[in-house]
Amino acid sequence: MKIHPTAIIDANAQIADDVEIGPYAVVDSDVIIGSGCKIGAHAMIHQYTDIGSDCQIFPFASVGSIPQDLKFKGEKTVLKVGKNTVIREFATLNRGTGEGGGITEVGDNNLLMSYTHIAHDCKTGNNVIMSNNATLAGHVIAEDYVILGGFAAVHQFVHLGSHSYIGGKSAIVKDVPPFVIASGDRAVLHGLNKIGLERRGFSQEALSLLKKAYKIMFRLDLTVNDALEKIKNEVQLTPEVDQFLSFIENSSRGITR
Per-residue pLDDT tens over the stretch 165-216? 999 999 999 999 999 999 999 999 999 999 999 999 999 999 999 999 999 9
CB 148 within 8 A of CB 179: no
Helix, strand, or coil (residue 88): coil
Q: Strand 49-51's sheet: what is its strand order?
A: 14-15, 32-33, 49-51, 78-81, 103-106, 123-124, 141-142, 159-160
- What are 58-105's pLDDT values in tens digits? 999 999 999 999 999 999 999 999 999 999 999 999 999 999 999 999
Q: Which residues are catalytic?
A: 120-121, 138
Q: What pTM value is reported for the model?
A: 0.97
What pLDDT score does 57 carry?
98
pLDDT at 35 > cutoff 80: yes
Burial class (CB in 10 A: 0-12, 13-18, 19+), 234: exposed
pLDDT at 8 > cutoff 90: yes
All domains of the chain, ordered by start, with CATH?
A: 2-139 (2.160.10.10), 198-249 (1.20.1180.10)
What pLDDT score does 177 carry?
98
What pLDDT score does 199 carry?
97
Q: pLDDT class for 1, splitting at 50, 70, 90? A: confident
Burial class (CB in 10 A: 0-12, 13-18, 19+), 223: exposed
Average pLDDT of the residues in 18-41:
98
Helix, strand, or coil (residue 239): helix
Burial class (CB in 10 A: 0-12, 13-18, 19+), 119: buried
